[in-house]
Amino acid sequence: MTADATTPPYAPGRLPVVGHVMPLLRNRLAFMQQLRGHGDVVQIRVGPRPVFVVNAPELIWEMLTAQSANFGKGRLFDKLRLFGGSPLPVAEGQQHLQRRRLMQPAFHRERINSYIDMMSTTAETALRSWEHGARLDVLNEMQLMTQGVVMSVLFSSEPERGPAQSIMNSVDTVFQAAIRRAVAPVSAWENLPLPGNRRLRAANALLRRTVGDIVADRRTDPEPPDDLVSLLLDTRDEDGRPLDDEEILSEITALLAAGSETTAVTMAWLLHELGRNPDLEERLHQEVDTVLAGGRLTADHLPRLVLTRRLVTETLRLHNPGWIVTRQATVPVRLGTALLPAGADLVWSPYALHRDPGLYHDPLRFDPDRWLPDRPQPARGAYIPFGAGKRMCIGDGFTWAEATVLTALVASRWTLRHAPGTTVRPVPAITVHPSSLHMIAEARGTAAAREAA
C-alpha cells in the first residue's frame, strides 16, 4: 500500500445511529445516483454497518476483473445457501470455478440456439391467451412468460400452469426469506414458529417434492431429453462424483430465481418504452414483419433483428434491473486511492452506472439508436448489464436470445398502449421493476382494418 491511500469519505447526510438509512428508504435510486458526485469510492452507513459504494467505472471494472480474487460475494449470499447446497451464484473460490466450468456448456451459443424453438413455443402459447382490448398487467404477463421459458429449458417441457405457478411462488418465498434473513440484525428468530418461517418451510417442502419428482423421474428415464436437468445429472466434479439431489435442487432453484424475474422486468420496461414511443414501435413492426415475413421465428432470424436487439441493449442500459450488486473484501484492498479493510462490504450499482452523464450523452433518454455501429461506443466498463469477470452472469447469451425472441413475437401480433391513468415509476426491490404497468392490448392490423372499413 502506498502513502496516498485513504479511507473513503462519508457521503453527506449521515445521521447518528441510523446513518444513511433515511435516504435509502426515501428514494434509494436517486440516492445511489447522486453518490457519484462525492467520490470514486464513498462510505455510507446502513445503521452501524459501513458500506463502501464504488462509483468510478474503472474501479468497478478493476474490482470485478483484475482484483476479483480479493472479493467474495458478500453477506447477502451467505443466506442463499439453499437446501444445504451452494449453487453457482453463491459458491466461492475453487468450488465456484469448478461449478461454473461444469455448467458453462448449457449456456454456449449453439446450445442457446437450440433453445429458441422452446422459447418461441412458450411465448406463442402465452400470447394466444391475450385478447383484443384486454387490460394487461404487463409485468405479470412477462413474469409468466419468462418463468415458462426458463422452466421449459430446464425441464424440456413446461409444467402445467398450476404446478408451474406453485414452483415459482415457492422460489419467490425462499428468496424473499433469504434476503430478510441477510439484513436482519439477529438470527435467533429463524427457528421460531412464526408465519414467515412456516411459509418458508412449506415452500421448501413443495420445491423438494415437485422438483425432486422431476429429478427422480429423470434418473430412471432410459432416454433422457437433452436439457439442463440432464446436464446437471451428468455433471461430475473433479473427483468424478456426481452432484447429489440436494445440490441439483439448489442449482435448479437458483436458476429459476436468477433467470426469470430479471428478464421479465427488462421486458416490461421495454414494452413501456415502446408504448410511449409510437415511432419506434412502428419501426420495430416494420423490421419484424420484414424479417419474419409471417413465418415462425427461428435462430436464423436473430442476426437480422437488429433494431429489436438495440431495443434490448438500450433497455438493459436505462432500465437495468440491478440497482445494487454486492462484494466483500476477503483481504485488505486498495481501489484507486481508497483503502479498505478485510471484511469490508462493497456495492456498485448497474442502474446508476448506466445513467452517468459522464459516460452517456443525454443519459435519461431512451434511444436505441445510440447503439448504431457508426456511433461512438461507451468506454470499457461503462456498459456492464451482466457484470464482468469471473462472476459475470452465465445467462447473458440466454437473455439476449430470449428478450429478442419475446420482443419480436409480441411486436408481430400486438400493439400495447398504456391504460388511461397509468403512471409508471421505478420500484427498487430485488430488481428495479415498474410500479404498475397496465396496458391495453390491441391486435395488430385491427385498428387499421377498422379505419379502412
Which spans of this chain sit near ligand HEM (rule: CB under 6 A)?
A: 73, 88-89, 100, 150, 255, 258-259, 262-263, 266, 321-322, 325, 385-387, 391, 393-395, 398-399
- Locate all alpha helices (DSSP H) within 65-160, ordered by sequence: 75-78, 93-103, 109-128, 138-155
Taking the complex as a whole, the smallest distance from the CB of residue 450 to ligand HEM amounts, in Å, to 36
Taking the complex as a whole, the smallest distance from the CB of residue 346 to ligand HEM amounts, in Å, to 11
Our CB check for ligand HEM shows the closer of 292 and 329 to be 329
List the end-to-end C-alpha distance of the chain, in Å, as a whole number: 77
Taking the complex as a whole, the smallest distance from the CB of residue 251 to ligand HEM amounts, in Å, to 9
Q: At 223, phi and psi to the nearest 5?
A: -125, 75
Q: How far apart are CA 239 and CA 170, in angstroms?
A: 33
Taking the complex as a whole, the smallest distance from the CB of residue 352 to ligand HEM amounts, in Å, to 13
Helix (H) or strand (E) holding 442: strand 438-443
Per the CB < 8 A criterion, the answer to whether 254 and 73 are in contact is: no
Cell 432416454, located at residue = 223
Our CB check for ligand HEM shows the closer of 23 and 395 to be 395
Taking the complex as a whole, the smallest distance from the CB of residue 220 to ligand HEM amounts, in Å, to 26
Taking the complex as a whole, the smallest distance from the CB of residue 265 to ligand HEM amounts, in Å, to 7
Our CB check for ligand HEM shows the closer of 88 and 340 to be 88
Position of minimal CB gap to ligand HEM = 395
**Number of alpha helices (DSSP H) and beta strands (DSSP E) in the chain:** 15, 12
Our measurement of the distance from residue 379's CA atom to the centroid of its chain's CA atoms, rounded to an integer in Å, reads 23
Cα-only R_g, the chain: 23
Classify residue 131 as exposed, middle or buried by CB count within 10 Å of its CB (0-12, 13-18, 19+): exposed
Our CB check for ligand HEM shows the closer of 150 and 177 to be 150
Grid coordinates given for 124: 406463442
Q: How far apart are CA 89 and CA 204, in angstroms?
A: 19
Our CB check for ligand HEM shows the closer of 386 and 441 to be 386
Our CB check for ligand HEM shows the closer of 23 and 72 to be 72
**Does residue 31 sit in helix, strand or coil?**
helix
Our CB check for ligand HEM shows the closer of 401 and 441 to be 401
Taking the complex as a whole, the smallest distance from the CB of residue 451 to ligand HEM amounts, in Å, to 37
